[in-house]
């Protein structure tokens, strides 16, 4: 009888924690963090009992205060290790350059759940559960991990997003269609058969430019601006707003975050990426307010919100909290942020009351996408993205395309519209599928635009050599789609 991937991961991580007295975990990249979230939030007694205050994503190491690491036994955990690049060329060198390296180096344990046979011997971690896996076995195990994340309703990026949960008492179609007043909508099922709704919000909806937390010269042109609604149980859905404005790397001298926001984000605002992620989270809350205003017009007899708790230190049957954000926002005051979110929700309630029973203008009807069509769009998009990145072909307004990894949201949208004849919502759903299936990974890149302003921008690319090789094999077998890139 095959043991579940959850049991294997739990056994491996618990063994490391107990044998080495681990008190801090650095999760390598987003998938490692998502794996920990799935294990921590398991709905049974076997879940991993570990505090988010003792976890940090490797993507947030540049914003971690020294005291979070000093005096602790640190586990650097990578779920899958192919060549060892991220662990040994990014995470360890970053730590080696910190002034506290000599104080922490003997307290670091490296581990990977699975290691590919091509991993150089000098890059092997100290501990592994599976080792010397051939490509087929490695890919099979990778799929098992992705399926686990989907079973637990976990998105690979959801450790950096807030969520509000809604319990519906009305017809599902009525609930889904209310989101169309904010954007184009499409529903589909994930690989584990969970219902998903993507709300792709156009540039001219949910205007963010007037808010005082948006720095001057921030670009809002075809950025990631959407909301995802993910089924958790039969009648409960997680509402996850997502927004990534392209933020200038240098703020104007006279620009200041308000004192209330500085209290929430603290030292995050001292770092370039900290400012990028803080602006992104605040922008997503404006999306959330607009989305919830629409949802709450259904009335309390049709939908009930389940809000994050302020005083809950651990997940329990009594509710949920937002402490998972600490992995990506190590300096955020979660209590104050939760209070801020509750105020946002209250504003939405007030705004929704006079709108109940009134007909709202829809930005588009509910598009029900066939599974085969979603997969086809995602496959073609992945093939072309890989080719474009390899060819370093310029598609948008960046003046230094060759200096950054991946493609921006604007480039992806233009690629879909101009060359694949896809609608905005089609591109958005295809991108969701590629991220959920761990085909695409995200970065924050410094991009010099044609107006000579350097902006921090969200970019997307195939997730490492294994995925790139898989896409390449498919292209060699079946060829590229018959489109002209120009």
DSSP bridge partners of 304: 167
Output the pLDDT for position 316: 46
Tokens encoding 367: 């598009």
Output the pLDDT for position 315: 45
Tokens encoding 4: 């579940």
CA dihedral 59→65→66→69, nearest 10 degrees, is: -60
Separation CA 441–CA 459 (nearest Å): 8
Tokens encoding 231: 């089924």
**Interior/surface letters 425-450, b for 16+ CB within 10 angstroms, e for the rest:** bbbbbbbbbbbbbbbbbbebbebbbe
Closest CA to 123 of 89, 96, 84, 94: 84
In the predicted model, residues of the chain with pLDDT beneath 50 are 314-317, 401-402, 484, 486
Are the CB atoms for 322 and 337 separated by under 8 Å?
yes
Are the CB atoms for 27 and 13 separated by under 8 Å?
no
Q: What are phi and psi of 408, to 5 degrees?
A: -80, 165
Separation CA 412–CA 239 (nearest Å): 24
Closest CA to 396 of 449, 442, 446, 443: 449
CATH 2.120.10 assigned to 5-151: no
Closest CA to 346 of 301, 285, 284, 298: 285
Phi-psi region of 266 (alpha: psi -120 to 50; beta: other; left: phi over 0): left
Distance in angstroms between the alpha carbons of the first and the last residue of the chain: 53
Separation CA 95–CA 105 (nearest Å): 9
Per residue, what are the HEC states of the chain?
Answer: CCCCHHHHHHHHHHHHHHHHCCCEEEECHHHHHHHHHHHHCCCCCCCCCCCHHHEEEHHHHHHCCHHHCCCCCEEEEEEEECCCHHHHHHHHHHHHCCCCHHHHHHHEEEEEEEEECCCCHHHCCCEEEEEEECHHHHHHHHHHHHHHHHHCCCCCCHHHCCCEEEEECCCHHHHHHHHHHCCEEEEEECCCCCEEEEEECCCCCCCCCCCCCCCCCCEEEEEEEEEEEEEEECCEEEEEEEEEEEEECCCCCCCCCCHHHHHHHHHHHHCHHHHHHHHHHHHHHHHHHHHHHHHHCCCCCCEEEECCCCCCCCCECCECCCHHHHHCCCCCCHHHHHHHHHHHHHHHHHHHHHHCCCCCCCCCCEEECCHHHHHHHHHHHHHHHHHHHHHCCCCCCECCHHHCCCEEHHHHHHHHHHHCCCCHHHHHHHHHHHHHCCCEEEEEEEEEECCCCEEEEEEEEECHHHHHHHHHHHHHHHCCCCCCCC
Beta strands at 108-116 and 74-81: parallel, antiparallel or unpaired: parallel
Separation CA 44–CA 38 (nearest Å): 12
The domain ranges of the chain are 5-151, 158-366, 370-478
* Residue in the structure block whose two tokens are 């976890």: 55
Specify the CATH architecture of the domain 370-478: Orthogonal Bundle (1.10)
Residues 225-257: tens digit of each pLDDT:
999 999 888 899 999 999 999 999 988 777 888
With a CB cutoff of 8 Å and minimum separation 6, the contacts of 220 are 203, 208, 209, 245, 246
Are the CB atoms for 117 and 395 separated by under 8 Å?
no
Confirm whether 5-151 and 370-478 share one CATH topology.
no
Are the CB atoms for 29 and 86 separated by under 8 Å?
yes
């Amino acid at each position: 009888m095959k043991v579940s991937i959850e049991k294997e991961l739990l056994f491996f991580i618990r063994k490391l924690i107990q044998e080495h007295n681990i008190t801090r975990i650095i999760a390598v990249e987003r998938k490692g963090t998502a794996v920990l979230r799935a294990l921590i939030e398991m709905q049974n007694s076997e879940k991993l009992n570990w505090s988010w205050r003792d976890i940090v994503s490797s993507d947030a190491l540049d914003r971690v205060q020294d005291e979070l690491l000093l005096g602790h036994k640190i586990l650097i955990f990578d779920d899958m290790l192919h060549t060892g690049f991220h662990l040994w060329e990014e995470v360890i060198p970053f730590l080696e350059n910190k002034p506290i390296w000599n104080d922490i180096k003997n307290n670091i344990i490296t581990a990977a759940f699975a290691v590919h046979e091509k991993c150089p011997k000098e890059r092997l971690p100290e501990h592994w559960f599976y080792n010397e896996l051939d490509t087929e076995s490695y890919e099979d195990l990778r799929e098992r991990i992705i399926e686990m994340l989907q079973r637990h309703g976990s998105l690979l990026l959801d450790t950096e997003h807030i969520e509000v949960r809604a319990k519906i008492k009305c017809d599902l179609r009525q609930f889904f269609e209310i989101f169309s007043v904010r954007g184009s909508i499409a529903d589909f099922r994930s690989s584990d058969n969970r219902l998903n709704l993507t709300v792709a919000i156009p540039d001219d909806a949910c205007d963010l430019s007037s808010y005082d937390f948006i720095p001057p010269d921030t670009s809002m042109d075809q950025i990631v601006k959407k909301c995802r609604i993910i089924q958790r149980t039969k009648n409960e859905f997680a509402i996850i707003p997502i927004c990534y404005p392209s933020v200038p790397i240098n703020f104007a001298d006279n620009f200041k975050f308000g004192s209330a926001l500085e209290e929430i984000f603290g030292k995050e605002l001292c770092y370039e990426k900290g400012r990028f992620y803080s602006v992104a989270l605040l922008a997503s809350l404006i999306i959330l307010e607009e989305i919830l205003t629409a949802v709450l017009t259904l009335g309390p007899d049709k939908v009930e919100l389940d809000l994050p708790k302020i005083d809950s230190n651990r997940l329990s049957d009594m509710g949920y909290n937002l402490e998972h954000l600490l992995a990506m926002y190590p300096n955020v005051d979660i209590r104050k942020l939760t209070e801020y979110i509750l105020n946002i929700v209250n504003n939405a309630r007030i705004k929704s009351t006079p709108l109940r029973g009134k007909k709202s203008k829809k930005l588009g009807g509910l598009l029900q996408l066939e599974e085969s069509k979603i997969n086809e769009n995602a496959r073609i998009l992945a093939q072309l993205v890989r080719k474009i990145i390899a060819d370093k072909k310029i598609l948008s307004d960046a003046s230094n395309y060759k200096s950054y990894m991946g493609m921006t949201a604007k480039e992806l949208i233009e690629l879909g519209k101009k060359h694949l004849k896809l609608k905005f919502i089609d591109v958005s759903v295809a991108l969701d599928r590629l991220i959920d299936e761990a085909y695409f990974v995200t970065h924050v890149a410094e991009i010099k635009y044609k107006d000579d302003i350097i902006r921090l921008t969200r970019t997307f690319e195939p997730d490492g050599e294994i995925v790139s090789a898989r896409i390449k094999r498919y292209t060699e077998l079946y060829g590229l789609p018959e489109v002209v890139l120009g």
